[in-house]
Amino acid sequence: MLDGKVAIVTGGTRGIGLAVVRNFLNNGAKVALFGSKKESIEKALSILREENENFQVSGFYPDLTSEREIRDTLAKIAEEFGKIDILVNNAGLSSSTKIEDYTIEEYDKIANVNMKGVFVCSKEVVPYLKETHGNIINISSMVSIYGQPSGCVYPMSKFAVNGLTKSLSRELAPVGIRVNAVAPGITKTDMVASLPDEMIKPLIATIPIGRIGEPEDIANACLFLASDMASYITGEIMQVDGGARA
């Protein structure tokens, strides 16, 4: 579905991000994955190359909030692969801190990755996507639709991601760039997989389909939106949550 495409996936070393990278590679794309540090990048690349030595994949660990670092990294990717077609803004930090306990330092840490990082990466990739009529996919969350009972800065940041998605879809459509978001429900990441059954079972009871999502479920939604099959879709916040609602 992505033959000949070049994709960037931020937060691509584990969980949903790694599943997106793997899915894109298996569908013919060349992928540059971003991570927070050299060690996590090397581990992810090793895993992928053990699965298929022919995967065309590279890794980088720029500061997502630095225009200069992102600009320089995009130039390296375009030089290596020839172009850029797809950006998946997946990197993010969650939070469950109650508002009285928040520090400005924690607020800044979450806001920088979840909002500023998405903004900077999107801003810097636009010149490349204009050339390829490419697309941006932002990873949002089900809590961007109806909030959560604590950790308010996380849903706040994802509401912002939705706003950016909607606005950029209108701004960039005339130059041939689509912008969409995927809002996952409860998904079996490392954090969720480590929860005890007494916490997992009540969560499953809220999901009409009757199971927690797999990272591959989110990756499949990203694959569809990234592909030409979604060529008439932009500004969409696609909920992938098994039917769970507030």
62 falls within a domain? yes
Lowest mean pLDDT segment, chosen from 63-72, 168-177, 198-207, 232-241 = 198-207
Q: What would the pLDDT profile of 148-171 be if each residue is shown by its tens digit?
A: 889 999 999 999 999 999 999 999
Lowest mean pLDDT segment, chosen from 46-55, 174-183, 185-194 = 185-194
| Contact by Cβ (8 Å): 185, 241 | yes
Q: What would the pLDDT profile of 202-223 be if each residue is shown by its tens digit?
A: 888 889 999 999 999 999 999 9
Reported as a pLDDT band with limits 50, 70 and 90, residue 197 is confident
174 falls within a domain? yes
234 falls within a domain? yes
Note the pTM of the prediction, 2 decimals. 0.95
12 falls within a domain? yes
159 falls within a domain? yes
- Residue 154: active-site member: yes
Q: What would the pLDDT profile of 221-245 be if each residue is shown by its tens digit?
A: 999 999 999 999 999 999 999 998 7
CATH at 31: 3.40.50.720
- Among 128, 146, 154, 232, which one carries the catalytic annotation? 154
Distance between CA atoms of 57 and 27, rounded to whole angstroms? 13
The sheet with strand 57-60 has its strands ordered as: 57-60, 30-34, 6-9, 86-89, 135-139, 178-184, 237-240
Domain range for 233: 6-240
196 falls within a domain? yes
1 falls within a domain? no
Look at the chain and report how many structural domains it folds into: 1
246 falls within a domain? no
pLDDT of residue 209: 94
pLDDT of 195 higher than 80: no
